[in-house]
Chains A and B, each alone.
Chain A
Amino acid sequence: MNCRHILGIFYRNIILIRRSVPKLFGLFGFITVELFLWGFITIWVQTFANNGANADFILLILSAFIFWSMFALSQRAFSISFLEEVWSRNVINLFASPVKLSELVLGYVLVGVAQAVLAFFYITALALLLCTFDVWELGLYIIPFFMNVLIFGWVLGVVTIGLVVRFGPSADILAFFIPFFLLPFSAVYYPVHIFPPWLQRISVVLPTRHMFEGMRTTLIEGVIPLHDVFWATILNAIFVVLAFLFLYLMLRLARNRGYLSRLVQD
């Protein structure tokens, strides 16, 4: 054993982690989010058991899981379409072509829709087969819910692309983590009322919170909560505009500072 060899391997990897903001974020952010998530899930399970609620707990959890998976898939499909260009060092060809930013985004949206629809039918069929769980019990709520889930996934996909353009290929880790950071605050697996008041106020701005609250209301009370659909849609519309603006500004910054060529060099 040569300690200097081991030190060499250690040093090489520490340099990478120390230099990369996204990697540092992944290091500390991941466990923080897991703590929040499992903390809230535990509180909710305990409350549910103590109150002897008459809702179907499995139905609530599986519905939440399926739609959260669709949301994460929508974001990932969108981000990875762009990252493929970065990983294959083709991104310069793309930005030097006559393709407009809006055309690029719409192309990725189409890829996202195709993948999400396929995955949705696959996972709902599988859930029915394995768990005798029929997601169509949500009825008409599925349509606005599914649309909002996809759109907010694309919003985060656009933000991810902006961050990769700004911070370089090392930010690709965010493509896999960003939805996860929103998970505990979106009230996916538990109702929003178990949050501390300050977190309830903050989570109001997340469309996902309204979507998943609406989903639970539909499953427990059998009525479509129009105010949740309304707020999820309005917030999504605002975030679409903000995400586009963010990407536009990141691209302008990248062109000014020469970051685009760095995308094929880092």
Chain B
Amino acid sequence: MTTILRVKGLTKRYNGFAAVDRISFEVKEGEIVSLLGPNGAGKTTTVQMLLTLVSPTRGDIEVFGKDLNEHREELLSMMNFTAPYSLLPYNLNPREALTVFSLLYGMRDTKAKVEFLLQEFDLTRLADKRIGRFSSGEQMRLGLAKAFVNNPKLLLLDEPTASIDPTTARELRAKILELIRQSNGAVLWTSHNMREIETVSDRIIFLSRGQIVADDTPQGLKQRFGQEDLEEIFITIAREPLGSSA
């Protein structure tokens, strides 16, 4: 399997404080990898470094074997993301917003793509409604539709189903998996929803205070920690001092 994302010794320091501390991992084609960890563990900072929103203090990020810093535009056109802190313009409607992002990602045949995404994410009936009047769940669905606007090979999902009811969350998870499998891409997924993480992940990377403290399959983690519940493992790791679980 081709390695889509390779992170080596990635570090981000703010005034001496290490938000992310020498983390290394890989994500291969077709793989869904989850970043898990308590608040302040460095998940969002890692995602933001992968999106070039934050510059690493040290370390390398390679996407399809190319340095992200040197080939920024080329590589970002193969990636996409959604995050609850990043909304789409409130004064546009979904059809307009998706058209704008299709253009920003250099897509051709934008009209067909936009209509496809509106349908896939059950937004057709809302297509002409201003985004500013959307519920948070509808905004989340639209954010996900935007994340697929360029058929990404690497999808970064930061809490993609936060503020969505369980039924819709399940449907959306299924949709994300279906679309990403169609494009043979990979996903880096962060969430605090343990059941979600367990359902979707091929591998889970536990972060604590900026460091990777475990990297394994959900089953492997359960065996290693002797727990049946991922939430118990999460709590155990979050309470442990660094270096005792890796």
* Residues of A participating in the B interface, judged by any CB pair closer than 8 Å: 84-85, 88-90, 92-100, 252, 255-258, 260-261, 264-265
- Closest A residue, CB atoms, query B44: A261
- Closest A residue, CB atoms, query B15: A257
- Closest A residue, CB atoms, query B149: A97
Q: Contact check, B88 vs A90: say whether CB atoms are below 8 A apart.
A: yes
Q: Contact check, B89 vs A84: say whether CB atoms are below 8 A apart.
A: yes
Q: A90-B86, A255-B53 are in contact. Are A98 and B146 (CB under 8 A)?
A: no
- Closest A residue, CB atoms, query B72: A98
Q: Which residues from A are CB-within-8-Å of B44?
A: 261
Q: Contact check, B54 vs A97: say whether CB atoms are below 8 A apart.
A: no
Q: Contact check, A260 vs B53: say whether CB atoms are below 8 A apart.
A: yes
Determine if B87 is an interface residue (Cβ-Cβ < 8 Å): yes
Q: Which residues from A are CB-within-8-Å of B88?
A: 88, 90, 93
Stretch from B77-85, B208-216, B221-229, B238-246 contacting the other chain: B77-85
A-B pairs with beta carbons under 8 A, tally: 72
Q: Which residues from B are CB-within-8-Å of A89?
A: 85-87
Q: Contact check, B54 vs A93: say whether CB atoms are below 8 A apart.
A: no
Q: Contact check, B76 vs A261: say whether CB atoms are below 8 A apart.
A: no
Q: Contact check, A98 vs B74: say whether CB atoms are below 8 A apart.
A: yes
> Which of A88, A98, A99, A258 has the largest count of B CB atoms less than 10 A from its CB?
A98
Q: Contact check, A260 vs B54: say whether CB atoms are below 8 A apart.
A: yes
Q: How far is the CA of A260 from the CA of B53 in the complex (A)?
A: 6
Q: How far is the CA of A96 from the CA of B82 in the complex (A)?
A: 10
Q: Contact check, B53 vs A98: say whether CB atoms are below 8 A apart.
A: no
- Closest A residue, CB atoms, query B79: A96
Q: Contact check, A96 vs B81: say whether CB atoms are below 8 A apart.
A: yes
- Candidates A84, A93, A98; contact of B86 at CB < 8 Å: A93
What are the 6 A-B residue pairs with the smallest beta carbon separation, nearest first?
A92-B86, A96-B51, A98-B77, A98-B76, A255-B55, A89-B87
Q: How far is the CA of A205 from the CA of B197 in the complex (A)?
A: 60
Stretch from B3-11, B28-36, B101-109, B161-169 contacting the other chain: B101-109
- Candidates B72, B77, B85, B91; contact of A261 at CB < 8 Å: B85
17 residue pairs A–B, Cβ–Cβ below 8 Å: A88-B90, A88-B91, A89-B87, A92-B53, A92-B83, A93-B86, A95-B53, A96-B86, A97-B105, A98-B74, A99-B104, A100-B73, A255-B55, A257-B14, A260-B48, A261-B48, A261-B53
Determine if B184 is an interface residue (Cβ-Cβ < 8 Å): no
Determine if B52 is an interface residue (Cβ-Cβ < 8 Å): yes
B143-172 to A contact mask, C-beta < 8 Å, 1/0:
000100000000000000000000000000
Q: Which residues from A are CB-within-8-Å of B146?
A: 93
Q: Contact check, B104 vs A258: say whether CB atoms are below 8 A apart.
A: no
Q: Contact check, A261 vs B54: say whether CB atoms are below 8 A apart.
A: yes
- Closest A residue, CB atoms, query B77: A98
Q: Which residues from B are CB-within-8-Å of A97?
A: 76, 101, 104-105
Instruction: Give the distance to chain A from B83, nearest Cβ to Cβ, in Å.
Output: 7
Instruction: Give the distance to chain B from A77, nearest Cβ to Cβ, in Å.
Output: 16
Q: Contact check, B53 vs A256: say whether CB atoms are below 8 A apart.
A: no
Instruction: Give the distance to chain A from B98, nearest Cβ to Cβ, in Å.
Output: 12
Q: A96-B53, A257-B14 are in contact. Are A90 and B87 (CB under 8 A)?
A: yes
B95-115 to A contact mask, C-beta < 8 Å, 1/0:
000000100111000000000
Q: How far is the CA of A256 from the CA of B49 in the complex (A)?
A: 10
Q: A88-B90, A90-B89 are in contact. Are A95 and B52 (CB under 8 A)?
A: yes
- Candidates B52, B77, B89, B101; contact of A255 at CB < 8 Å: B52
Q: Please give 18 more A-B residue pairs, beta carbons under 8 A apart, in addition to A97-B101, A260-B54.
A: A84-B91, A89-B87, A90-B86, A92-B83, A93-B86, A93-B88, A93-B146, A95-B53, A96-B53, A96-B76, A97-B76, A97-B105, A98-B105, A255-B52, A255-B54, A258-B45, A261-B85, A264-B85
- Closest A residue, CB atoms, query B49: A255
Q: Which residues from B are CB-within-8-Å of A265?
A: 85
- Closest B residue, CB atoms, query A260: B53
Q: Which residues from B are CB-within-8-Å of A252?
A: 55
Q: How far is the CA of A266 from the CA of B73 in the complex (A)?
A: 27
- Closest B residue, CB atoms, query A87: B90
> Which of B14, B53, B76, B90 has the largest count of A CB atoms less than 10 A from its CB?
B53
Q: Which residues from B are CB-within-8-Å of A255?
A: 52-55
- Closest A residue, CB atoms, query B73: A98
Q: Which residues from A are CB-within-8-Å of B54?
A: 255, 258, 260-261
Q: Which residues from B are CB-within-8-Å of A98?
A: 72-74, 76-77, 104-106
Q: Which residues from B are CB-within-8-Å of A84?
A: 89, 91
- Closest A residue, CB atoms, query B82: A93
> Which of B45, B76, B86 has the largest count of A CB atoms less than 10 A from its CB?
B86
Q: Contact check, A256 vs B101: say whether CB atoms are below 8 A apart.
A: no
> Which of A84, A93, A260, A264 has the largest count of B CB atoms less than 10 A from its CB?
A93
